[in-house]
Structures are given as structure tokens and as C-alpha cells.
């Protein structure tokens, strides 16, 4: 499939001759990806994305040989997905019309599969989970202090266990024996980031539990993420957790955990030396792979090397990474032009050899790729704008993009 994509990008239509041509044939191409995990995250918890919009994004990913779609399914603002075991969870959706039934994502997973795309779902917890509280207030500390989720209530973990079982089917897919769960991928993202534990210490019942257990709030945070990770592992799936989980608990994380690094101060070498696999998308820096950092240009993104500072012997522990399209200010109206063409820089960095770093040769390549995306119906914005996603400033050819 990736080879056919390469071939399709070599072929062009000659309008004067009225035929398809293969310039400079014959070609001999030997190629393979440097990293096995090359993806995009979209955030449907901050703004609703229609199923058709998600399919359009899936259609575009193979053009850059990307193979993972990470769905950040819920956040503090919205829980849009139908959960049969906990039918009130989607009371936390923005509106009755901004919800997904499970058949929606069954269709998305199958649609992606036939395009060579894995779909990895994320349910961020114990923070970023406020939208679970309207349906199940008992799993939240109090009506006025809603997260982190209630670590002192076993019912919190019962709900999470049933939720994950429904998503994963309790076992990974194998050839000829697909998982009965909604999401077939072997990874399930459990979040774990940006946890402010003050709600726990300020809620009398949880404070009493902490005292009974002899836990500090940080130890209770470790208890929560470890218990949820072990639920995922018991169901045959590898938990993915954000940087903070490693930063707090180091080698105490459950073996099999994948650390998704977004914080610049997380020591990647230390993570892999402890035996944990890594996904990279460092944010809030000048070469961030956070696509919502609109002032970070394609060339800065292109220079973000996943194995910087990591010994060559440990670099294989890094599976790859994602461009992350956080959705606070993005919805169906502008998703494609905020993702593309900057995501192409990340895609090439994850596919190509480490030595492929020349910006002068990469620049015309990404400009041409943006025009190819446009020809294929993808709303990729101009390459050279200082702010990603802006429309062209003047009339002109796609092939003569100006700042």
C-alpha cells in the first residue's frame, strides 16, 4: 500500500499530451519507514467532529504514509461516545446532536483499517474527565470540585473497567480472530496528565480515605494510574500514558506501559533505559509537534528529531510519534487546513532516514505535496504562511506559494 502511494505520487497527467506520464522513468526505489508508529491525534472532546470529517482526515493520512489515528475521545468539556455499560456517560456531551453511537466508530475503525490506519482511542483520566460527572456524579469528588475522579470510590474503577472492556473486548485482535471490542488496536490511551490533586485533599470523604490508606495525594495519583493501567493490561492491551505519569513514578510504572512524551523536560533517555517504549510529540517548544501551536513553522517541525540525546542502541525503543491537533479552537470548519501540510513534515521525519534533514531540498517537496493534497481534495493551507492554516494572501498558483 505504501509502495502504491509512492507510485501514485510519481505519476502525473500531461494536459498537452492528454495522457498520464511517469517522468524520468525507469525508477528503482528501495524504501521503508524508520519508525513503525506514525500518526495524527484529533480531539473530539473540545469540539465535535462529524464522522464524515473524521473519514476525510483518514482519507488524507495514507498520502503521507501515516498509519495511526489517535482519537482524544473525551475531555473536561464533553463526553460524546455511547457507552452501553454506563449509558449516562454521554449526558456529558455538548448537546444531544453532538454524540456518537457505537456504530459510528465501528464504521470509522473499519474505514481506517482498509486504508492501513490503526485507530487508538484515548480516555484521559483521572483529570480532564469532568464531563463524566453529569452522568455519574458519584465517581467525582463533589459537584463543585469534579476532578481528579474519585480515587476513594471502588465504583470509579468498576465503571472504568467496564468502559475499557467495552472498548477493547478484553483481548487483543489476532489474525482471523478480531477483538469483539469497539476499538481493535492493541494500545489504549489512558491519559494521566495535568492532575491537580487538591480536590482530593479538600473533599472530606477522600481526605479520610487518604489518611486511612496512609497515602499522600501524590501516592494516591500513583495508585489511580497504576490500577487503571493494570486493568488495561489484564484485558490484553498496552496502556499509553502521558509524560507526567513517568515524571512522577519513574520505573514504578506497570511494565508494558508506553510513555507518550509531550513535556520538554521529560528525560526520553531515562524512559527508554527503564525499558518503557515511547511515543513522541513534544509540545510547547519552538519545534513542537502540537499542530495547534500555529506559529511553529513547518521547517521547525521538520527539525524535531525523536532520538535527540538518546543512544543509538536505545532509539528502537521509540515507536514513533504523532502530530497533535488539540481541538480547543478547531472544529469541522478548519480541521484540514490546520493539520495540513505541516503534518507532512512530521510524516517525513518519522518515515525517512535520520540523515534526511536538508531544508533546502525539503522546502520544494512540501510545497509540491501541499498542491498534491489540494488536487486530491484535501484542504491543506499554504506552506509558507507565518501562521499555520491561514488562507493564501494573494491570487496566484499553488506552485508559487509566497509568504
Give the residue numbers marked as catalytic. 194
Q: Give which of 316, 318, 372 is closest to 344, Cα–Cα.
A: 372
Indicate if the alpha-carbon torsion angle 270, 160, 232, 182 is positive or negative.
Answer: negative
Per DSSP, the residues of 38-68 read: EEEEEETTTS---HHHHHHHHHHGGGGT--E
Beta-bridge partners for 398? none
Scanning 309-402, the segments in alpha helix (DSSP H) are 335-339, 342-351, 359-375
Q: Which of 389, 340, 326, 336 is nearest to 45 (CA)?
A: 326
Letter string b/e over residues 376-401, b meaning 16 or more CB atoms within 10 A of that residue's CB = eebbbbbbbbeebbeeeeeeeebeeb
3-state secondary structure of 258: strand
Query: Can you tell me the distance from the alpha carbon of 88 to that of 368, in angstroms, rounded to the nearest whole number?
Result: 48
Tell me the three cell numbers of residue 45.
472532546
Q: β-strands 19-21, 12-14: how paired?
A: antiparallel
**47 grid coordinates:** 469540539
Q: What are 14's three cell numbers? A: 500531461
Nearest-angstrom CA–CA distance, 115 and 2:
10
| Number of CB atoms found within 10 A of residue 121's CB | 23
Residue 177 DSSP class: B
Q: Cβ distance 34 to 319 under 8 Å? A: no
Amino acid at each position: 500500500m505504501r509502495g502504491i502511494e509512492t507510485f501514485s505520487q510519481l505519476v502525473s497527467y500531461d494536459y498537452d499530451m492528454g495522457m498520464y506520464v511517469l517522468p524520468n522513468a525507469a525508477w528503482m526505489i528501495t524504501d521503508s519507514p524508520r519508525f513503525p508508529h506514525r500518526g495524527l491525534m484529533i480531539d473530539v472532546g473540545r469540539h465535535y467532529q462529524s464522522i464524515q470529517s473524521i473519514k476525510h482526515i483518514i482519507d488524507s493520512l495514507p498520502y503521507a504514509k501515516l498509519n495511526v489515528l489517535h482519537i482524544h475521545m473525551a475531555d473536561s468539556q464533553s463526553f460524546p461516545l455511547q457507552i452501553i455499560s454506563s449509558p449516562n456517560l454521554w449526558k456529558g456531551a455538548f448537546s444531544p446532536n453532538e454524540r456518537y453511537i457505537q456504530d459510528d466508530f465501528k464504521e470509522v475503525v473499519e474505514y481506517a483499517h482498509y486504508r492501513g490506519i490503526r485507530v487508538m482511542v484515548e480516555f484521559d483520566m483521572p483529570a480532564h474527565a469532568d464531563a463524566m460527572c453529569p452522568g455519574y456524579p458519584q465517581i467525582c469528588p463533589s459537584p463543585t470540585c469534579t476532578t481528579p475522579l474519585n480515587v476513594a470510590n471502588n465504583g470509579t474503577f468498576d465503571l472504568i473497567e467496564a468502559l475499557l472492556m467495552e472498548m477493547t473486548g478484553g483481548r487483543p485482535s489476532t489474525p482471523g480472530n478480531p477483538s469483539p471490542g469497539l476499538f481493535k488496536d492493541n494500545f489504549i490511551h489512558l491519559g494521566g496528565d495535568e492532575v491537580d490533586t487538591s480536590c482530593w485533599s479538600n473533599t472530606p470523604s477522600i481526605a479520610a480515605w487518604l489518611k486511612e490508606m496512609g497515602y499522600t495525594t501524590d501516592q494516591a495519583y500513583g495508585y489511580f494510574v497504576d490500577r487503571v493501567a493494570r486493568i488495561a493490561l489484564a484485558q490484553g492491551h498496552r496502556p499509553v500514558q502521558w509524560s507526567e505519569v513517568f515524571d512522577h513514578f519513574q520505573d514504578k510504572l506497570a511494565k508494558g506501559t508506553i510513555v507518550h512524551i509531550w513535556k520538554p523536560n521529560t528525560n526520553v533517555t531515562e524512559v527508554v533505559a527503564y525499558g518503557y517504549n515511547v511515543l513522541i510529540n513534544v509540545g510547547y517548544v519552538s519545534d513542537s509537534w502540537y499542530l495547534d501551536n500555529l506559529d511553529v513553522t513547518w521547517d521547525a517541525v521538520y527539525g524535531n528529531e525523536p532520538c535527540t540525546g538518546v543512544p543509538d542502541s536505545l532509539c528502537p525503543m521509540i515507536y514513533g510519534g504523532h502530530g497533535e491537533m488539540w481541538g480547543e479552537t478547531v472544529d469541522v470548519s478548519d480541521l484540514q487546513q490546520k493539520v495540513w501540510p505541516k503534518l507532512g513534515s512530521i510524516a517525513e521525519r518519522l518515515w525517512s532516514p535520520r540523515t534526511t534533514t536538508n531544508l533546502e531540498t525539503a522546502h520544494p517537496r512540501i510545497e509540491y505535496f501541499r498542491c498534491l493534497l489540494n488536487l486530491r481534495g484535501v484542504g491543506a493551507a499554504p506552506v509558507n504562511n507565518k501562521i499555520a492554516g491561514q488562507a493564501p494572501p494573494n491570487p496566484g498558483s499553488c506552485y508559487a506559494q509566497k509568504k
